[in-house]
């Protein structure tokens, strides 16, 4: 089999004419960095925002050209609309797809009225009542474990729940939920979400092999996130939990700017260093006027399994004190236990593997407080987003 290289793909794309019908899309600088994995080529084409809807044939032509190359197994191509200063936000462009060669021509979701509590100017997701982001200022604080157990606790509390893994670079939901395989497609290229333990799930980890390095720039991350959110058959949900990547980068800003988030939950460990980073996450959401539903102190303390003695390995109470100082609700504390780690690794989260255990009761109480905050935020007048 002929090796597929970035240079060969670029040479092939030089046969695709640009919108001016004279130069090619490579020489016009329209092609992003090309990522090649397992014989598949991933890239985006940047087009003017006001012409994005009319240039889908250009995307299809580039996709056909690359798919025809010897040695290529597939191509995932997206259009990225380039926004000019002072112009309105463009409609999200079609995104790269999990199944090579599939396009999204002719499909879009019509704007829906924003439910109570959603900011104007953002298109809601049909049939999803609330969208909650679970975020952290830094990695390693147990955010994804908190997100999946929060989602399962909301389900255990009687709600219809889905979870979106927005960490494109390090997706963890397939392992945490014990799900393998690829999602199916239905009419209009809509993806059917995977499901386990009664909650629907979507993750980049379902679309690429585990261990694949996603070397994508911001526009492709944005494109993938919008597809996983808006082109998935979520069905009627009371709440969609979004497991955000750590930090305050492209994915967080994409979700905050383009998705009507009902609110955000911040996860931190008790020590000062983690709290410094948690403040950055809190300040980011405040800046884009996404309501803070509260702070969770994870790994709050450790109970030795042999003696029952308690150890405050990372200190204790720091997140509660921070919440009080910032005027943000404190949602609860979750201990550091071997059971949570073992069950997470095994794909059997503690909320389902030990439904009456102390950790599960802690998550269910956090879920109750979160949902209480959702109701409180939804009853207030929606603010207008202002970017400085």
DSSP labels for 28-55?
A: TT-B---EEETTEEEEEEEEEGGGGGGG
Please name which of 346, 350, 334 lies closest in space to residue 302, comparing C-alpha atoms.
Answer: 334
DSSP 140: S
CATH number among 3.10.129.10, 3.40.50.300, 3.30.300.130, 3.30.559.10, domain 6-82: 3.30.300.130
Number of alpha carbons in the 13 Å side-chain half-sphere of residue 351: 27
Minimum mean pLDDT range among 63-72, 229-238, 310-319: 310-319
SS3 state at 299: strand
Tokens of 84: 């000019």
DSSP 156: H
**Pairing verdict, β 194-196 and 40-48:** unpaired
How far, in Å, CA of 265 to CA of 163, rounded?
Answer: 14
Name the most confidently modeled range: 67-76, 84-93, 223-232: 67-76
**Is the pLDDT assigned to residue 112 strictly greater than 50?**
no
Name the most confidently modeled range: 47-56, 82-91, 133-142, 365-374: 365-374
Q: The dihedral of CA 243, 246, 251, 257: what is its sign?
A: positive
Q: Which CATH superfamily is domain 128-378 in?
A: P-loop containing nucleotide triphosphate hydrolases (3.40.50.300)
Mean pLDDT of 220-228: 75
In this prediction, residue 251 carries a pLDDT of: 66
In this prediction, residue 371 carries a pLDDT of: 94
- Sequence ranges of the domains in the chain: 6-82, 128-378
How far, in Å, CA of 156 to CA of 151, rounded?
Answer: 9
Secondary structure (H, E, C), 337-369: CHHHHHHHHHCCCHHHHCCCCHHHHHHHHHHHH
In this prediction, residue 11 carries a pLDDT of: 93
**Rg over CA atoms, the chain:** 22
In this prediction, residue 104 carries a pLDDT of: 36
**Is the pLDDT assigned to residue 302 strictly greater than 50?**
yes
**Is the pLDDT assigned to residue 327 strictly greater than 80?**
yes
- Classify burial at 305, counting beta carbons within 10 Å of its beta carbon; exposed 0-12, middle 13-18, buried 19 or more: exposed
Tokens of 100: 């090579």
SS3 state at 60: helix
Please check whether residue 205 is in contact with residue 172, taking contact to mean a CB–CB distance below 8 angstroms. Answer: yes
Number of alpha carbons in the 13 Å side-chain half-sphere of residue 361: 3
**Is the pLDDT assigned to residue 199 strictly greater than 90?**
yes
Tokens of 187: 């009419």
SS3 state at 201: strand
Tokens of 235: 């069905």
Helix axes 143-156, 358-378, angle to 10 degrees: 80
pTM, full prediction: 0.64
In this prediction, residue 111 carries a pLDDT of: 32
Through-space distance between the first and last CA atoms of the chain, rounded to whole angstroms? 52
How far, in Å, CA of 234 to CA of 192, rounded?
Answer: 8
In this prediction, residue 219 carries a pLDDT of: 64
């Amino acid at each position: 089999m002929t090796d597929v290289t970035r240079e060969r793909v670029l040479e092939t794309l030089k046969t695709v004419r640009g919108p001016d019908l004279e130069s090619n899309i490579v020489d016009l600088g329209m092609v992003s960095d090309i990522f090649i994995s397992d014989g598949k080529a991933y890239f985006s084409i940047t087009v003017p925002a006001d012409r994005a809807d009319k240039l889908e044939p250009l995307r299809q032509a580039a996709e056909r050209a690359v798919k025809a190359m010897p040695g290529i197994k597939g191509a995932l191509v997206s259009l990225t609309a380039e926004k000019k200063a002072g112009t309105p936000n463009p409609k999200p462009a079609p995104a790269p797809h999990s199944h090579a060669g599939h396009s999204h021509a002719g499909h879009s979701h019509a704007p829906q009225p924003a439910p109570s509590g959603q900011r104007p100017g953002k298109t809601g997701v049909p049939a999803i009542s609330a969208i909650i982001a679970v975020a952290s200022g830094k990695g390693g604080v147990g955010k994804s474990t908190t997100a999946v157990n929060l989602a399962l606790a909301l389900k255990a509390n009687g709600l219809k729940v889905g979870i979106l893994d927005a960490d494109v670079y390090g997706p963890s939901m397939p392992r945490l939920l014990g799900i393998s395989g690829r999602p199916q497609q239905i009419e209009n290229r809509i993806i059917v979400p995977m499901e386990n333990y009664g909650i629907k799930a979507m993750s980049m980890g379902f679309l690429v092999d585990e261990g694949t390095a996603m070397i994508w720039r911001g526009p492709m991350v944005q494109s993938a996130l919008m597809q996983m959110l808006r082109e998935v058959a979520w069905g009627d949900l009371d709440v969609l939990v979004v497991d955000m990547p750590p930090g305050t980068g492209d994915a967080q800003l994409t979700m905050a700017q383009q998705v009507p988030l009902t609110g955000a939950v911040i996860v931190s460990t008790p020590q000062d260093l983690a709290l410094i980073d948690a403040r950055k996450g809190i300040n980011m959401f405040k800046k884009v006027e996404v309501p803070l539903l509260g702070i969770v102190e994870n790994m709050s303390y450790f109970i030795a399994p042999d003696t029952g003695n308690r150890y405050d390995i990372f200190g204790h109470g720091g997140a509660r004190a921070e919440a009080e100082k910032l005027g943000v609700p404190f949602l609860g504390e979750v201990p550091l236990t071997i059971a949570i780690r073992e069950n997470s690794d095994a794909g059997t989260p503690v909320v389902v593997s030990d439904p009456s255990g102390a950790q599960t009761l802690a998550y269910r109480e956090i879920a109750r407080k979160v949902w209480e905050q959702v109701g409180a935020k939804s009853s207030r007048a929606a603010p207008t987003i202002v970017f400085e």
